[in-house]
Amino acid sequence: MKLALLGYGKMGKAIEAVAKERGHSVGVTIDDEDDWMAKLDDIRECDMAVEFSTPATVLSNIMRCFDMDMPVVVGTTGWYDHLDAVVHDCQQRGQALFVASNFSIGMNIMFELNRRLAQLMDSHDEYSVSIAETHHIHKLDAPSGTAITLAKDIIEELDRKDDWRLMKKGTRIGKGIIPITAVREGEVAGIHEVVYDSDIDTITLRHAAKSRKGLALGAVLAAEYLEDKHGYFTMKDLLKVES
């Protein structure tokens, strides 16, 4: 495949390296509006777009891909309030969209463990639950899309929780709220922890990315999966995980 990389920061460069390792090529890289105008012909020659830009530009990038009948894999987070509308548009227009809050295979295994642990904890209200995430200082959204996914999955399985909240100085939460702590420091690739705590013991699920390569590999695998398909897909489809 010839890929168009929408967003050519550190993740974009990591995806480029993995794509070439797997026999693909990068036809164009897009970082801003000027690139869209100057490189439009190059974009049209690509087979697939991989989108890792910013929350401010992701929606317009997706719609431009739809307008060109180009499948798009989206790893940018911080826009999920619009996800339902974008998925509806994708399906109505017969386009192809793959969205994940985290493309790491290991992290997606943790998603499954998180759901299962929440099921087991539903009858043990002596445990409080919290989420903590740490990322590099360049990450624009907080909490991470991955942390939000973890929280939403817990809420689906744990009757005593009905929402999440980002913890800031002075933040107060009620019993039904899952607190999320977000830290931005250094060049941390990504650490996520789900903690169940009681007076007796503590249970922790933790995933720590060692580099961006795992995310890049997952994004390229998603692009390979999306080729010649139409509709909306997630990592559950790629990994054949039953809902």
Give the integer Cα–Cα distance in Å for 201 and 212.
33
pLDDT band at 58 (very low <50, low <70, confident <90, very high): very high
Give the integer Cα–Cα distance in Å for 171 and 190.
24
Same domain, 7 and 86: yes
Distance from the first to the final alpha carbon of the chain: 30
Show the domain range for 109: 105-208
Same domain, 109 and 90: no
Same domain, 227 and 174: no
Kindly list the catalytic residues.
Answer: 135, 139
Closest CA to 188 of 226, 238, 132, 125: 132
Contacts of 69 (CB under 8 A, 6+ apart): 95
- The domain that holds 163 is classified in CATH as 3.30.360.10
- The domain that holds 45 is classified in CATH as 3.40.50.720
pLDDT in tens, 109-151: 999 999 999 999 999 999 999 999 999 998 888 999 899 999 9
Same domain, 99 and 109: no
Same domain, 167 and 200: yes
Same domain, 32 and 60: yes
The predicted model gives 171-198 an average pLDDT of 94
Same domain, 97 and 178: no
Same domain, 117 and 98: no
Per-residue pLDDT, 122: 97
Same domain, 141 and 203: yes
pLDDT in tens, 24-44: 999 999 999 999 999 999 999
Per-residue pLDDT, 75: 95
Residue 67, both tokens: 């307008």
Same domain, 80 and 170: no
> In the chain, pLDDT over 70 holds for what percent of residues?
100
Per-residue pLDDT, 36: 94
Full-model pTM: 0.81
Same domain, 175 and 226: no
Question: What total number of domains does the chain contain?
Answer: 2
Same domain, 77 and 168: no
Flag whether pLDDT at 241 surpasses 80: no
